[in-house]
Amino acid sequence: MAILDSKGRLFGKINLLDLGAALVTLLVIFVILSTFLSSLGLAQIGEKIVPIEVDLVVRGLNVRDPEQLFNNGLKKGGKTNVIIRNQPYGGPIEIKSIQQLPRTVNVFQPDGTVKELPDPKTNNFSTDMLLTLEGKAKSTESGPVLGSSKVKIGMPFELEGFNYNFNATVIDIRLKDK
């Protein structure tokens, strides 16, 4: 019996075109599954999932009444959506703490020193805040990874919620080993 017969069948039973189509289909399914599973953020070999705290500072957020932000979810124990480098983190992340920073101005004194005093302006619709977010990150050799984005000091985070969307900057990162 010949390996290929006159009709292009392998050992007289399997058509080569059907075999090729089946192999291409299996390859496509394998690629799709491996891409999907790697996008789930599952820990790879040598990586571990650890709790992370990220401190963010918000400077000059223009808002008439900061209390409306705090009443609609931007508060301790609340959750916010985070977008890092145009990539959304996989769901809301918990707000561990939030602190509104006082607005101050530098005032030069007659003796040449500088004092930091509260800003006397009443029509200043700008606020500064310090936030701490808490979540889970992959610990890699090159640093922590939230979702699919590395987290580094100085990076901008976009925070989004019910009635807000603004940027903040990472000023500290703390990984807590289990």
- pLDDT tens per residue across span 62-105: 888 888 888 777 888 888 899 888 888 878 889 999 998 888 88
The model scores a pTM over 0.85: no
Q: Which residues contact 70 (CB under 8 A, 6 or more apart)?
A: 98
